[in-house]
Amino acid sequence: MPLLVVGLVPYHEHLWLGFIVKRRGQRHLLRTHHCGELNTVHLGHRVVLCGWLDKQRDHGKGIFIDLRDRYGRTQLLVDSKSPPAVLEVAKALRAEFVIRVVGTVQKRPAGQENPALNTGQIEVQVEELEILNECPVPPFLPSALELPNEELRLKYRYLDLRRPAMQRTLLLRSRIVKTIRDYFQEHDFIDIETPILGRSTPEGARDYLVPSRVHPGEFYALPQSPQIYKQLMMIAGYDRYVQVARCFRDEDLRADRQPEFTQLDMEMSFVEADDVMSMIDGLMQRLAREVLGLELSLPLPRMTYDEAMRRFGHDAPDLRFAMEIVDCTTWAAASDFRVFRGTVESGGWVRAIVAPRAAEHLSRKRIDELTSFVQQDFGAKGLAWMRCEADGSWQSPIVKNFTESQLLALRELTQAQPGDVVLFIADTWETSCKALYGLRRRLGQELKLYDPKQMNFSWVVEFPMFAFDAEENRWAAMHHPFTAPLNRDLNRLATDPGSVRAQAYDLVINGYEAGGGTIRIHRQDVQSQVFGLLGMSTEEARHRFGFLLDALTFGAPPHGGIALGIDRLVMLFAGLDNIRDCVTFPKTQKAQDLMTEAPNVVESRQLNELGLSLKK
């Protein structure tokens, strides 16, 4: 029988629950309340609830049912007070059946309350029960304490999304995005959408290409970011742009990366780097306060790229704990230990970290495991160690290679205390950075050197403008080719590009790059010069970016901005370690959607329309 929607029942601000429908001239509610709403205020009220059967317990004299929706759970009671037909239907119910009940709210018997639930003081005496949809035995239960393997979760993602933990994460995501939008609206930013189908301008990861049917042999590219478009908006005079943008990159995946992802993109005109970072400082302060209940002191701390690499071996250091890298190169050069001295003589470095109170944790077997870790994962030649004993002496297979005065100097250099273990990497600068960063991150977690719930926000600034690509025998952009050099380094762009630093800044949260931004090049001559350094001929630069080079001649203002990864922000604020748990329908590490089985083979007719043939 057709139903006519005539209105909505307000629950509270921003939420509308339940449809008022008209059937044979009578008003009827599909539901009056949700499953997390009822409490002692509603005692004696006749209510209508809809949801999924979470758990069922038959105690003989009565059947208890936990009814679940995204708002919570309500206990239902079907017993001798319920009509006999209702009792028969209740006995036929199974997990994840979708049901609708009508009943009266009553107080739970003394001693049977559940303080863990908002609805734990009450239950609903069922008077009517209707099965809206049945469910076969599911491959896993959303209420199960132990998670199934991830492949099964992704294949049946709609079941996985019923889990309270997943719902909490997606509600957190919604709250974060709303807070972001509100913040930028208060600061006069204009929310502007940019194209999804654009021009392929390869300058980072691989593009996802979309063939054009109307223009055979030609392709659109899905945006890796709205970078160029938001610069054009500044040239167009819109001054303050913001967008929650979908982006696409065809790159190898990992736990904190997806082929399609969501960015907060922001751009401002007539600003310097400090202005952009200050704007994001305020946003992080707002998010920390409203989402986590934390108060951040501003401005957020900053360190240069060179300092981050020297102290932590990485440009996104986790500052929740110390264990900084100690440069032992000069000390090692004077020793009789051939491995150390030979490394220094060949231009390498000897650097170390001090694992505090780790003597019991780092047995010989464990150190062997860490040695394999740095060799296999980071290409290090090996791992040397020394343990500081209770009397201040050192214990290690390599101690015999050092004099007493050298060992005393090591105590002063590392500030090691009894029970500490010093771990050395003797290798190139790059390898020592990677290996010690990996060791520091791993041991920080294993030794419980920080509270996992702790949040740390900081900036890393003044990145190198370029990195030399030995395979291509040319310079490559550290951030992107539209990044402006520091003004004081601009005169070295032509003569010594490797020494030029960029007006670039990364936001770091708990050892993850949460976002990156730069001040952009707003002069055509500088942009053309940078394209040349990146190995582009004048003709190639015109072919790829002619529209941008032209736009820069039409009164381009100084401008800059940043992109923050929404998925990664949610992961960090939720205290998770896998970005797939923050995305509604994610891809696997092989970029597959197990639920819809994408990507898939298309019909030859579709390929013919696009003028494409597949190469075997």
- The residue assigned the tokens 């020297």 is 310
Other CB atoms closer than 10 Å to residue 256's CB: what's the count?
A: 19
> What gap in Å lies between CA 93 and CA 116, rounded to an integer?
25
> What gap in Å lies between CA 537 and CA 522, rounded to an integer?
20
- Convert 112-126 to b/e letters by CB count within 10 Å (16 or more is b): eeeeebbbbbbbbbb
Give the model's pLDDT for residue 59.
87
* Cα 589–Cα 219–Cα 598 angle in degrees, nearest 5: 30
Q: Are strands 394-395 and 62-69 parallel, antiparallel or unpaired?
A: unpaired
User: Range(s) for CATH 3.30.1360.30 in the chain?
Assistant: 321-449
Give the model's pLDDT for residue 253.
72
Other CB atoms closer than 10 Å to residue 225's CB: what's the count?
A: 18
> What gap in Å lies between CA 233 and CA 224, rounded to an integer?
17
Give the model's pLDDT for residue 203.
61
Q: Are strands 190-191 and 240-248 parallel, antiparallel or unpaired?
A: parallel
User: Range(s) for CATH 3.30.930.10 in the chain?
Assistant: 166-303+458-583
User: Range(s) for CATH 2.40.50.140 in the chain?
Assistant: 31-133
Q: Are 28 and 14 in contact (CB under 8 A)?
A: no
Q: What is the largest CA-CA distance in the chain?
A: 99
> What gap in Å lies between CA 40 and CA 24, rounded to an integer?
34
DSSP strands (E only) in 333-482:
349-355, 384-388, 394-395, 421-427, 457-461, 466-469, 474-477
Give the model's pLDDT for residue 255.
65
Total residues belonging to the chain: 616
**Omega before residue 223 within 30° of 0, cis:** no
Give the model's pLDDT for residue 433.
98
Percent of the chain clearing pLDDT 90 (strictly above): 89
SS3 126: strand
- pLDDT-wise least confident of 18-27, 251-260, 275-284, 536-545: 18-27
Q: Are 228 and 552 in contact (CB under 8 A)?
A: no
Q: What burial class does residue 310 get, using C-beta atoms within 10 Å of its C-beta: 0-12 exposed, 13-18 middle, 19+ buried?
A: middle
- pLDDT-wise least confident of 198-212, 387-401, 501-515: 198-212
Q: Are strands 26-29 and 72-79 parallel, antiparallel or unpaired?
A: unpaired
The more confident residue out of 431 and 453 is: 431
Which residue pairs from 216-225 have beta carbons closer than 8 angstroms and sit at least 24 positions apart in sequence? 216/610, 216/611, 217/611, 221/197, 222/196, 222/197, 222/198, 222/248, 223/194, 223/195, 223/196, 223/198, 223/247, 223/248, 224/248, 224/249, 225/263, 225/265, 225/563
Enumerate residues 6+ apart whose C-beta is below 8 A from 359.
387, 388, 419, 420, 421
CATH of 31-133, one of 2.70.70.10, 1.10.760.10, 3.30.2010.30, 2.40.50.140: 2.40.50.140
Give the model's pLDDT for residue 175.
97
Name the residue type at position 139: P
Give the model's pLDDT for residue 471.
84
**Is the pLDDT reported for residue 192 higher than 50?**
yes
In which band, very low, low, confident or very high, does the pLDDT at 252 lie, cut at 50, 70 and 90?
confident
Enumerate residues 6+ apart whose C-beta is below 8 A from 164.
142
**Is the pLDDT reported for residue 42 higher than 90?**
yes
Nearest to residue 466, comparing CAs of 389, 535, 551? Answer: 535
Q: How far is CA 137 from the centre of its chain?
A: 34
E strand or H helix at 266: strand 260-269
Q: What average pLDDT is seen over the chain? A: 92
- pLDDT-wise least confident of 362-366, 400-404, 474-478: 474-478
Give the model's pLDDT for residue 473.
85
Q: What superfamily in CATH does domain 166-303+458-583 come from?
A: Bira Bifunctional Protein; Domain 2 (3.30.930.10)
DSSP assigned state of 486: P
Give the model's pLDDT for residue 202.
67
pTM of the model: 0.90
**Omega before residue 142 within 30° of 0, cis:** no
E strand or H helix at 105: strand 98-107
User: Tens digits of per-residue pLDDT, 320-348?
Assistant: 999 999 999 999 999 989 999 999 999 99
**Is the pLDDT reported for residue 446 higher than 60?**
yes
**Is the pLDDT reported for residue 359 higher than 80?**
yes
What CATH code is assigned to 321-449? 3.30.1360.30
Name the residue type at position 130: E
- pLDDT-wise least confident of 177-181, 236-240, 577-581: 577-581
Average pLDDT over residues 204-233: 93
> What gap in Å lies between CA 608 and CA 1, rounded to an integer?
46
Nearest to residue 258, comparing CAs of 582, 594, 580, 564? Answer: 580
In degrees and rounded to multiples of 5, residue 514 shows phi and psi of -85, -20
**Is the pLDDT reported for residue 257 higher than 90?**
no
> What gap in Å lies between CA 350 and CA 328, rounded to an integer?
5
Average pLDDT over residues 30-59: 95
